[in-house]
Amino acid sequence: MQLDQTLGDDDTVPLRTLLNEAAETLAAAGIQDPTVDAELLAGHVLGASRGSVQAKAVMDARVPAAEASRLREVVRRRADREPLQHITGRAPFRSLELLVGPGVFVPRPETELLAGLAVDALRSSAEQQPIGIDLGTGSGAIALAMATEVPHARIAAVERSSDAYAWAHRNVEETGVANLELVQGDLADAFPELEGRAAVVASNPPYVPDDAIPRDPEVRLFDPAAALYGGEDGLDVVRVISRRALSLLRPGGLVAIEHGEFQGEAVRDILDADGWHATATHVDLTLRDRVTTAVR
């Protein structure tokens, strides 16, 4: 059904009709959760929360034709597999709503596990101002989670990509945190002034093997390659992080590294070979290996 056939005498369209049409279009395009995306896109266009959109639909609310046209356009973009977060310009992460777009890796729900482990380690530290470091911060998600959830901590974050750094800088400014230092540079030699002082080093590095092309178009076509691919086995940057974190952490400090679901054993082997203690792999909400930790 075309939207111009559903216009009322007042030049409006039933929201429920728009949502049904959007969900059908997105389902045909292979979107995993078409109804969810349809509601979120409608909320983006209408300036409303997803819950408000659902309530309006139940109450048979109608949408002005101009906004209906805008919704059709963003649904078309999503059907072309442009990431939802690029369209809305936002990505939820724990308690945050981060600015994202072309040039930066979109934070995933599974990375909230990594952030949670880092936050818990900072909170359990006996130091008056524990130091947390995010190596390869991307959008700033992990660093900002640490900074906002542990306000007495001092957080440092580094990002090499100028595009991603710009997004992280915007997020730091919008969040307004005063306990986070963001720098542009290489994680391999970042923060020499903090060597031997950090309580936590966290990282979500590129870990996709070079020949393992992601299946999802949203990842393959839109996420920056530098944030995805990590060498022949995907673990080149993990090796760098292991060595750098040994220098940055104080005795008893924790390193936490995200990785692919089949890489837990290999990451533990890298950490064990470098002299780390108490290596352990943690599963995400889907029960897949996702983060490996170790103690300095």
Q: Give the three-state DSSP class for 267.
A: helix
Q: Which residues pair with 291 in a beta bridge?
A: 258, 282
Number of H helices, E strands in the chain: 11, 11
Q: What are phi and psi of 243, to 5 degrees?
A: -70, -40
Is 262 catalytic? The answer is no
Is 205 catalytic? The answer is yes
Catalytic residue among 14, 130, 205, 206: 205
Tokens of 129: 């101002």
| Euclidean distance between CA atoms 279 and 191, whole angstroms | 24
Catalytic residue among 93, 105, 191, 222: 105
Give residue for tokens 């659902």.
Answer: 54
Give start and end residues of each alpha helix (H) in 47-98.
Answer: 50-58, 65-79, 84-88
**Residues 6 or more apart from 93 whose CB is under 8 A from it?**
107, 111, 112, 115, 139, 141, 144, 145
Is 34 catalytic? The answer is no
**Residues 6 or more apart from 121 whose CB is under 8 A from it?**
132, 199, 200, 254, 256
Catalytic residue among 83, 93, 107, 204: 204
Catalytic residue annotation: 105, 204-205
